Structure 1
Amino acid sequence: MTPAGQKTFTLATDLDGTFLGGTEDDRRTLYDWIEARRDSVGLVFVSGRDPMFIESLCSDGFVPWPDYVIGDVGTTVAEVRERKIHVIEPLEEQIAELWGGRGDAVRATLDGAAGLTLQPTPFRYRVSYDYDPHAYDGVAEGRVREMGLDVLISDNRFFDVLPPGVSKGPTLLRFLDHFGIAHGRTLVAGDTLNDLSMFQTGLQGAVVGGSEQPLLDATRDIQTARHCAAIGAAGIIEAIAAFDLHPEVHEVAA
């Protein structure tokens, strides 16, 4: 297998609405293109999803296995070996330190908070809620910030409490530098506001067609962020071709 830092191109992509978005034919085109070029194309899932979900997703044989996972909105960093996801401890040490074991304190502080329903998944370095914008009164954000933690509201339905300064973008940069992956040969892709920090890294990016309006507004003046016409997986192909990140992508680009 080609080492991560020596691959021609690396795709660091969100899942829902992005890598998993678009028609089945568009997804199959992208997935087959990647699978045929695993020696030259690196695949990193940068998602709010947890490793257990990703293992289940890829086990069906349709969605390709990634080489690495930056999950849980940037609080999990892992590699895939033998179709199992294994945490990369050196890249999680700082995240764990910044979190400081405050999960129980967050849950207690936000117990009964208006507009928030605790998600049952036992994340290690984040606490996540389903968010009702009509019932939410804004109090919870202040409580979280008083604890020295960050809040990320995305897709108008998720409320994530994260370690300070930790999100998809900063974790991805640390990951790329750790493995010697060239920034100029990397494409980030996303569709909601929890992907914004990836586009703020200076990496070339695909804001795929069908993205939520707040992300479109927030990335409008970021020169490296392409607002793609094509939706989901087709938007990723569109951006790879537009940025000329792989010599063989034009074979499948519209």
Structure 2
Amino acid sequence: MNDTLSERQFVLATDLDGTFLGGSSADRQALYDWIEAHRSSVGLVFVSGRDPAFIHQLCGSGQVPWPEYVIGDVGTTIAHVTQDRTIAPIMDLERQIAERWRDGGDRVRSTLESAPGLTLQPTEFRYRVSYDYDPDQFDPATTRKVEAMGFDVLISDNRFFDVLPQGVSKGPSLLRLLDHLNIPQAQVLAAGDTLNDLSMLVAGTPAVAVGGSEPPLLSALPDAAHIYRAEGIGTAGIFEAIAHFKLHPTPERV
């Protein structure tokens, strides 16, 4: 992949589920085709709770364009896509994440083994532990236990509970990647739809909460000129925001 994103007119940094994978099939295809037709001026970064294996399978299937970079695992993976389509961690950026995690996976799993309202997800991520979350059974004291261990808690879509290294989430990881690549924040659009996208949408770049975003995200977002609340669902909302911020010429249909 071409690594010179700083030379692109516009970079889309987007969540996947409900955002880049959201909207009608026609709207999704329109955005994907537009990106592929403008690769010389448009860069693509996935900023997702999904892991690299899922993203590799998704892109390898031809369903979506390949990104140049991947921020995965709710910000705990920062990687680039190589010429042979490998999603390879950028060690200079991940080193700080690993230091903050302190090989905490086993300690977190042991501490939360019997926590009510949490069901451990089977995948063992490198720098996070993830659970399915039942708000009706959950004990808020669990959050305090995690924070006392020196980790952060992120609850999203009212059904996922992530334990993360302190200070690490989508927004901080996106800003570190942009700084690493010398990409001005003003030419980047951050797009999301759930509460785990909040840190990315308030990070300072132009940002959009696409149509259909979960109410807790919309309630948490401040009223700010650089944050746009789109009407269009998923990919339609991304197109809507690109036009709103005048980040890149878009099709007349928008």
TM-score range, shorter chain: over 0.9
**Partner SS state of residue 65, structure 1:** coil
How many residue pairs were aligned? 252
The alpha carbon displacement at 1:2 in A equals 6.5
Among residues 197, 201, 204, which one is paired with 1:202 in the alignment? 204
The alpha carbon displacement at 1:253 in A equals 4.4
Matches of 2:52 and 2:77, distance apart in 1: 8
**Partner SS state of residue 43, structure 1:** strand
The alpha carbon displacement at 1:219 in A equals 1.0
- Asked if 1:32 corresponds to 2:41, the answer is no
Matches of 2:225 and 2:73, distance apart in 1: 27
**Partner SS state of residue 155, structure 2:** strand
**Partner SS state of residue 240, structure 2:** helix
**1:1-254 to 2 correspondences below 5 Å:** 1=2, 3-81=4-82, 82-246=84-248, 248-249=249-250, 251-254=251-254
Check conservation: 1:34, 1:41, Cα contact below 8 A.
yes
Matches of 1:196 and 1:111, distance apart in 2: 28
Q: Is the deviation greater in 235-244 or in 133-142?
A: 133-142
CA RMSD, Structure 1 to Structure 2 (Å):
1.0
Matches of 2:178 and 2:54, distance apart in 1: 23
Q: 1:202 to 1:157 in 2, by over 3 A?
A: same
The alpha carbon displacement at 1:199 in A equals 1.5
The alpha carbon displacement at 1:105 in A equals 0.2
Matches of 2:17 and 2:142, distance apart in 1: 26
The alpha carbon displacement at 1:62 in A equals 2.1
The alpha carbon displacement at 1:220 in A equals 4.2
Q: Which runs of 4+ in 1 moved over 3 A?
A: none
**Partner SS state of residue 209, structure 2:** strand
For structure 2, list consecutive stretches of 5 or more residues without a partner in the other structure: none
Check conservation: 1:2, 1:40, Cα contact below 8 A.
no
For structure 1, list consecutive stretches of 5 or more residues without a partner in the other structure: none
Check conservation: 2:46, 2:67, Cα contact below 8 A.
yes
TM-score scaled by structure 2? 0.97
The alpha carbon displacement at 1:59 in A equals 1.3
Matches of 1:90 and 1:253, distance apart in 2: 42
Matches of 2:127 and 2:224, distance apart in 1: 29
Matches of 1:202 and 1:61, distance apart in 2: 32
Matches of 2:58 and 2:140, distance apart in 1: 34
Check conservation: 1:190, 1:208, Cα contact below 8 A.
yes
TM-score scaled by structure 1? 0.97
Matches of 2:36 and 2:65, distance apart in 1: 7
Matches of 1:105 and 1:220, distance apart in 2: 35
Matches of 1:94 and 1:231, distance apart in 2: 35
Q: Is the deviation greater in 13-22 or in 76-85?
A: 76-85
